Amino acid sequence: MTVVAINMPQTKEMILTFIKTRGPSLPVNVAQYIKTSPLFVSAFLSELYREQKLLMSDLKVGSSSLYLLPGQEQMIENFTQFLNQKEMEAFNMVKKEKLLEDQKLPPAIRVAIRQIKDFAIPLKIKNEGNEMLFWKYAFTPDSEIELIINPQKKEEKPVQPPISVPSHNHQHNPSTQIQQLQQTVQPIQLEIKVDEKPIMKAKEEKPKKEKIKKKQESKFLDDLKDYLKAKDIEVLEQIEEKSKEFTAKIRINDIFGKQEYFLIAKERKKVKEEDLTLVLHKANQNKMLALFMAPGDLDKKALDFIKEYKNLVKFEKLKF
């Protein structure tokens, strides 16, 4: 058998040249260009990423991320056809408006915008002591965002101090003019926290598992576990356990066979829309259906949410 030696530096340079010319690319495209197996190419791409010579998109084409050079981030928009319908709606909204307030978004868009990390960056903005979550279009300059948040600054134009012409009898003092100019500039009173960067993951990640907390004595938890057992609901993975809250991946036998769900159960007298949005977001991260359980009833907004997204999230009232 003939062993073909691979020149690693030369191969890496070929990959970088290809991506520089072609833009964001899939491993299979790179493999076709350098005429080697996708397995070898994936190893080279991972190494180039570790060396910070390449970036990797959060957007997936099939099951693969795109690899790109720094400066090519906005070119990922050429692949937005691979977003699902709600993600595409969220992308179009944030690109058009440039800044969106999280609480004013429809529930499905609030879920979707958290998935398009290449295009939407979360900002926490303090206004009169209250911290609000906004989503910024990733490619809008910060200076433009500041004008959107503080539009009166656009109207304020620096007042040019009169230019004094030195006479023969008076010496011109340039420091006086500088002081006058500085007095016309008012700082923008704005506090913005950037929570995340749009892309650049360390590796192809599975959703992070939260540490299981120490078991606490709780009648709610005891009753819940008895309820799950009585209904033949299998707990596949327990994620979090509190005195009045339980999070797990479960499997239920239904008429179509076994179905897996991401479950959040809480001791709530009234279930709100935010509860359902949270469990749906967590379920989407794990590519599962969502199930929320509570002994209380749905409020009006939560009831409307369930009716609209009944194929994605379920609610079960606990009776114990």
Q: What is the pLDDT of residues 15-28, one digit of tens each?
A: 999 999 999 999 98
Q: What is the pLDDT of residue 161?
A: 54
Q: What is the pLDDT of residues 203-216, one digit of tens each?
A: 444 445 544 444 45
Torsion angles phi and psi, residue 313, rounded to 5: -135, 135
Q: What is the pLDDT of residue 103?
A: 92
Q: What is the pLDDT of residue 195?
A: 52
Delineate the domains of the chain, giving CATH numbers in brackets.
8-73 (1.10.10.10), 83-149 (1.10.10), 219-317 (3.40.1350)
Q: What is the pLDDT of residue 187?
A: 42
Q: What is the pLDDT of residue 286?
A: 83
Q: What is the pLDDT of residue 162?
A: 52
User: What DSSP string describes 174-213?
Assistant: HHHHHHHHHHH-------EEE---SS--SSSPPPPPPPPP
Contacts of residue 108, defined as CB under 8 A and 6 or more positions apart, other chains included, come to 86, 308, 309
Q: What is the pLDDT of residues 115-133, one digit of tens each?
A: 999 999 999 988 777 889 9
Q: What is the pLDDT of residue 274?
A: 87
Which of 90, 125, 84, 124 has its CA nearest to residue 106?
90
Q: What is the pLDDT of residue 4?
A: 42
Q: Which residue stretches of the chain have pLDDT < 50?
A: 1-5, 163-192, 196-207, 210-215
Q: What pTM did the predictor assign? A: 0.52
Coil/strand/helix, residue 15: helix
Looking only at the bridges linking them, the beta strands covering 64-68 and 55-61 are antiparallel
Residue 272 to residue 299: CA distance in whole angstroms: 6
Specify the DSSP class assigned to residue 141.
Answer: -
Residue 320 to residue 310: CA distance in whole angstroms: 24
Q: What is the pLDDT of residue 21?
A: 94
Residue where the block lists tokens 């008429």: 255
Query: Among positive and negative, which fits the CA dihedral 253, 259, 264, 270?
Result: negative
Q: What is the pLDDT of residue 154?
A: 61
Q: What is the pLDDT of residue 172?
A: 45
% residues pLDDT > 70 (the chain): 77
Q: What is the pLDDT of residue 245?
A: 95
Q: What is the pLDDT of residue 310?
A: 82
Mean pLDDT of the chain: 81
Q: What is the pLDDT of residue 218?
A: 84
Which of 35, 39, 34, 42 has its CA nearest to residue 13?
34
